[in-house]
Structure 1
Amino acid sequence: MTEDTSHPIIRSSTPLRTFDNLGEVAAVATFPDRQRLVTSSKDGMLRVWDLKNGVMLKEMDGHGEAMVDMALSRDGRLIASSDDRGHVIAWHGDTGRLLTRAFRAHSEICSLDFSPDGATLATSSSDWTTKLWSTATCGYYGGGSVNCVRYSLSGELLAIATSRYGIEIWNPATKCRIAKLELDAMSLVWTPDGSRLLSGGDIIREWDLSTWKQVGDIWKGHTSHPWKFAVNCNGTVLASPTTDNHVRLWRLSDWRTIAIFRHSDSPCCVTFSMDGKHILIGGNDKKISEWVVPAHAWPEDAPNDQATHQAQDCNTEAQGCNTKARDSDTKAQAFDTDAQGFEIKACFRP
């Protein structure tokens, strides 16, 4: 694939700014209020940051073990974190208060994701299972390693990536498998319009949901495996970090690389800002770095006067930017502070 000469690839090793996270960054997400960033770290801590001035607002300590992944609900009211011993903790997104004690969900957790309404948490594990947990009752609905789970924006589909059985698409309401893609994958992300699924293993591929067939050619450019994708909220740009210390930005319309950012160490996670003008990268160097997205890739409706450091909930790792916060009395928030864990609703095994 030739380089777009009208917009040559931007290569940069100097971020706009960095946050000193104190521990190696395992996951990063931005709140829908556009003012805060949350990170989970391998020192067992969650940290919430002020995006405007870079000040740490609070630290939450509940695991005592290295964290593996984190999910933020789309209204920003719930945070779920997991550690390397398979435990999950739920937190109040605004206050940082513990909503559950640490409960053992699996032998080892690889990935977390909330349903769009925040009523269900999906967890995947190296024990070959994907479990759905009710966040309303704090208690379970009711195999290679499951590497990643991702809800579609509508919540009607759940994609599961495994190391042996390929990619499986499930209807979480009926608990029926809809499709199976014979390709191992480590990372998944849906486009916001729900029309496409992107998968990453040794390479990046795009899938059409109407046919479940691969779209176009494989994406070329990475020299190591892409990990933990993010898509901007209008579905035009993909960010993919890899273990070679680089994060690539891809234009989804033609699968071209438009920028390459070099983080100071292996990047583990990435998210976009609300206005689509910046990305935030977390890595093993215990830092979060902020970078400017090339102007020609900004969303057409991006406001010009919006604050520079506003950001979205991108557990997209890909969430929609138009999701409105739920009322405070929503049943998904009905937690007992002494709750032992979520109730399991379903368990999927490839």
Structure 2
Amino acid sequence: MKNGTKEKGKLIQVLSGHTHWVYCCSISPDCSMLCSAAGENSVLLWSMRSYTLIRKLEGHRNSVVSCDFSPDSALLVTASYDTTLILWDPYTGEKLRQIIHVSLSRDLDYSTAEPQLSSLRSVCFSPEGLHLASLADDRFLRIWSLELEEPLSTAPVTNGLCCTFYPRGGILATGNRDGQVQFWTAPHVLSSLRHLCRNALRCFLPTYQVLALPIPGKMKDFLTYRTNY
């Protein structure tokens, strides 16, 4: 400290473990974990308390380039060049769901096209944690519901690279290779009481504590996102 002011720009910590460029980092909203994606087939989860590696999440078949935590920190989503999104339980490392991007482009024959033509570029959670947005090289923005297998809505986005939700919901921004930022309408939903309760509990209860609760198994499955009902 100098003259009563805090020193700015000081390096606090360095995390080493990747062998490629780090494309994306995401800190969990409860500030307990950091996920880093570095163009490898896996991502690394780090403790924000001890700055040590918690675990490596393996499941993709190509480079992972984007990641994001749900608002309650109970879920982690990763996006890869292998055209898939994977939803993880970051506390256990369990793969909960895999979403495959089926092409929507009429200009390409994906039965013969190269896989990189639908490589994923970005993924993010909505503020209430019920939706995902993803951008892929097939020139489409997709919005997903956690409860559905197919996209909830789609929109053509040429050369999209990144996406993010407005913190209050209802709007989504995308960034493109041509230097533009575009804004899109997004689902603006009223969360159910069940989801609000789950969200409130998961903000301070990690998975292993939920599983230790003396409650019915179906309720545990719902609270840990194994089921949506």
2:183 to 197, 200, 206: 206
Tell me the equivalent position of 1:187.
162
Q: Kindly indicate which of the two structures has a greater share of residues assigned to helix.
A: 2
Question: Contact 2:140–2:155 (CA<8 Å) still a contact in 1?
Answer: yes
Higher deviation after alignment, 194-203 or 170-179: 170-179
Question: Contact 2:24–2:36 (CA<8 Å) still a contact in 1?
Answer: yes
Specify whether residues 133 and 331 from structure 1 end up closer, same or farther in structure 2 by C-alpha distance, changes over 3 A only: same
Superposition deviation, residue 326 in structure 1: 4.0
Question: 2:183 is aligned with what amino acid?
Answer: E
- Structure 2 matches for 1:41-52, cutoff 5 A? 52=7
1:145 to 113, 119, 122: 119
The C-alpha deviation readout for 1:185-206, integer Å capped at 9, x for no partner, is 2111111110211112222211
Tell me the equivalent position of 1:82.
37
Q: Gapped runs of 5+ residues in structure 2?
A: 1-5, 102-117, 189-199, 211-225
Superposition deviation, residue 210 in structure 1: 5.8
Structure of higher RCO (CA pairs closer than 8 Å, 6+ residues apart): 1
Structure 1 runs (4+) deviating above 4 angstroms are none
Q: Tell me the secondary structure at the aligned position of residue 43 of structure 2.
A: strand
Rounded to whole Å, the distance in 2 between the matches of 1:200 and 1:208 is: 15
Rounded to whole Å, the distance in 1 between the matches of 2:45 and 2:142 is: 27
Specify whether residues 333 and 199 from structure 1 end up closer, same or farther in structure 2 by C-alpha distance, changes over 3 A only: farther
The C-alpha deviation readout for 1:292-333, integer Å capped at 9, x for no partner, is xxxxxxxxxxxxxxxxxxxxxxxxxxxxxxx9x943x53279
Question: 1:166 is aligned with what amino acid?
Answer: F
1:160 to 134, 146, 165: 134
Question: 1:94 is aligned with what amino acid?
Answer: R
The C-alpha deviation readout for 1:168-189, integer Å capped at 9, x for no partner, is 1100133442101122321111
Tell me the equivalent position of 2:77.
122
* RMSD between aligned residues: 2.9
Tell me the equivalent position of 2:207.
331
Question: Contact 1:135–1:332 (CA<8 Å) still a contact in 2?
Answer: no
Q: Kindly indicate which of the two structures has a greater share of residues assigned to strand.
A: 1
Question: Contact 1:150–1:189 (CA<8 Å) still a contact in 2?
Answer: yes
Superposition deviation, residue 82 in structure 1: 1.6
Rounded to whole Å, the distance in 2 between the matches of 1:127 and 1:196 is: 27
Question: 2:21 is aligned with what amino acid?
Answer: A
Rounded to whole Å, the distance in 2 between the matches of 1:151 and 1:182 is: 19
Q: TM-score, normalised by structure 1?
A: 0.45
Q: Tell me the secondary structure at the aligned position of residue 107 of structure 1.
A: coil
Question: Contact 1:85–1:108 (CA<8 Å) still a contact in 2?
Answer: yes
Question: Contact 2:41–2:59 (CA<8 Å) still a contact in 1?
Answer: yes
Rounded to whole Å, the distance in 1 between the matches of 2:73 and 2:208 is: 6
Q: Gapped runs of 5+ residues in structure 1?
A: 1-50, 212-322, 335-344, 346-350
Rounded to whole Å, the distance in 1 between the matches of 2:182 and 2:208 is: 34
User: Percent identity, aligned pairs only?
Assistant: 23
Q: TM-score, normalised by structure 2?
A: 0.66
